[in-house]
Structure 1
Amino acid sequence: MTPEARLSAAIDLVDTILRQKRPLAHALKDWGAANRYAGSGDRNAVGNLVHDALRVKASAAWLMGAREAEVPARAVVLGMLARLRGLDVEAIAALCSGARFAPAPLEAGERAALAAADLAGAPPDVAGDYPAWLDGELAASFGGDRIAEAAALAARAPLDLRCNALKIIRPEALKALGHLAPEPTPLSPLGLRIAPNAEGRVPHVQSEPAFLKGAVEVQDEGSQLASLLAGARPGMQVLDLCAGGGGKTLALAAEMNNKGQIFATDGDARRLAPIHERLSRAGVRNAQIRTPRAGVMPLDDLAGRMDLVLVDAPCTGSGTWRRHPDAKWRIRPASLDLRRSEQRAVLDLARHHVKPGGRLVYVTCSLFDAENGAQIADFLAAHPDFAVVPPAANAAAAGLAPLAVHAEPRGLGLLLSPLRTGTDGFFVAALTRKA
């Protein structure tokens, strides 16, 4: 495919995603199946154009003069080329020649907008590229910093890997993957980071021998930090209550050096499906999978016995917008309300399994206070037998003392974000059950 054809395909895909509210990954998969002539390079290039367009949908449309709620896909993609990729008017005009498979030529108004490239007077949600109704939620978390925080969420994310301490140490992993130019992550002692290239692509590490042998796992540095802050130790009895595909289960097992027991479960058996193969590849021997039956998790025998219960709670996923930019345009107020309800339910379930003196660690990949500090405040008010571990103390105990500066204002947990820590957005609160 020519660059012009790739651009046309990206415009069509963005139009489909915005009109049908379709997940980006599904739309790209269907496009690839319907256009089998497109090689892997074409699919990657088109996918990167679509990702980038959705990262900056609001500001790109504003730049192009689009103010209505339903913005044209063409305006979003052309505005992105100027705003995010730095193309000037003539470079964009060359791609929009109107020739075979190329987008139609630029109109006079489009040329003028691209030449001005002006966001002066744009409201916070446009400057930060997020839905207007979320302005209050982000203001509750970041106040006047919300535009900068949201803008960082619109940037491209690196590829982060976690070294599996059961199989490798970081210096060895750096050598094994040296041809990919990894760097140590600045905060996690277990992480490697590979920066995206100029087009936003990162290598397919799943074909690397180090990955196939279980020496490294794909895991954002923020998720690695959350796992370390959980405080798992060898010999503990641990319940990973929302284990999903097992990313944090693997990390906890490595911290425990395969000693003690991890019980991993999830309310959705389909989400648990990948965990078995991942545990085997990583060399984890101390994990027991509790598969739900009819949505009910078989955990009665664990009540009041756990040293640590990890709740990687269902959430809106706002902290992962760098990786899933389409998600921020699909979220609705009802979605936030639903996640809040699910979080309350899982916290209520979790508390029954914490033994006196044990820990309950609550994690989200959200940046909204309603899902984070406010949720913990409500839980503590309803359950006075639990108390917060001060974030600074929890960070120090995990060997992560520098994170203490990222405590949320009430001291209920740590809030990580792309702007603050260079990670995906995560909230981590550690609670203890009074003996």
Structure 2
Amino acid sequence: MKKLVFRSGLRWKVSLAIAAVGALVAVALSLVVHNAARVSMLDSARDIMDDRVKVAQSWYEKTGTEFNAKLDDPNLPEQLKKEAARGLRATYVDDSGPGAPVVWASVPLRNGQVLSAHGRFEDRYQVLQDLDRALIIGSVAVVVGGTGLGVLIGDQLSRRLRKAAMAARKLARGDSEVRVRDAIGGRVRDETDDLARAVDGMAEALQQRLEAERRVTADIAHELRTPVTGLLTAAELLPPGRPTELVRDRAQAMRQLVEDVLEVARLDGFAERAELQEIDLAEFVIRRVRVAAPDAQVIVVRDAHVTTDPRRLERILGNLLANAAKHGKPPFEVTVEGRVLRVRDHGPGFPDSLLKEGPSRFRTGSKDRAGGGHGLGLTIAAGQARILGARLTFRNAEPLAEGREGAVAVLWLPESAPTNTGSFPVIHVPD
């Protein structure tokens, strides 16, 4: 069961992180400021009401009349009644109703009565509401500003990483001139530059290692070419017979192996260039198939004129047909559909390892497609396709009741001339 994976851009992650932090800070500060202002307002209102009730007490004791206060108010809160029973002057805030809270103050008299006063401080409450609105507006502004700043920072970092990824892909395609550090550019130095330098160092080390292995392979194959040629010449001088035929066959196979290894070494060096010509694809394929595989059937769905290297295209087509004849079963079909070539056999199909990883040198496939050869045919075909700027893919035909029904190799030729490095073209698949 596959896990559900959500993919999002780095700039949005940075923006959301800054917005979340900004929102938390703004809410926390707003709550602190609101509570502090409210407590200050209520404390001031308590002091005012307490002063008012003290003045009313002094006036009542002198004149015996009420002034800005009321004796034994029936609406007096129970908390103030309890405090008065203990002989204490007290204040109380009632904020159970809508609007501004009611602030009470009471004082017990010598005769046992309770003198109290209360009032609403609408002006102070309005100031508190205005402060709350200002805090909300400020908090929203902080979040919006933080999000915008996060988008700018995240976009810059994301752009640098995208440039680094594009440069790394070019390196993977064999463009040895590309450097990630130069691709990202910029004057700001951050961890992206460390990543770029690490990738560049890894690419240079890998390139040096591959170049060393290629040179060793090419040198060995080149050194073997002379003795193998001599061996093949000597085999021609042997008297006729079955042993002579075996010696000649093995010597010829060894010579072909040496030539293929040299070709693979040249292709790995990324120094090969296509010699372009404009050809009629259908006519070209018909003539080459007639020579390489007379039993194969050529099906022309749609003809096309292409600009390519005929020698390399012939090499690809010959290797695909040789692979089909060696590991598959007839009938063999070559289909021309515009710029797309398909080579199909009706054998056991390509092994799963080749479908997942692509062709690998000195691997002839699974037991189902085992046979003679040294496993370089498809590797050479893929390398030549890269030089042409084409794409070579492998798949198996739709399975039937009896099992897999043939292997299909598809060559997609580009609409324009290949680049210097043989980069893959953008291919439009026909409906």
Q: Which TM class, normalised by the smaller chain length?
A: under 0.3
> Which is richer in helix?
2
Larger Rg: 2
If asked which structure has higher relative contact order (CA below 8 Å, sep 6+), I would say: 1
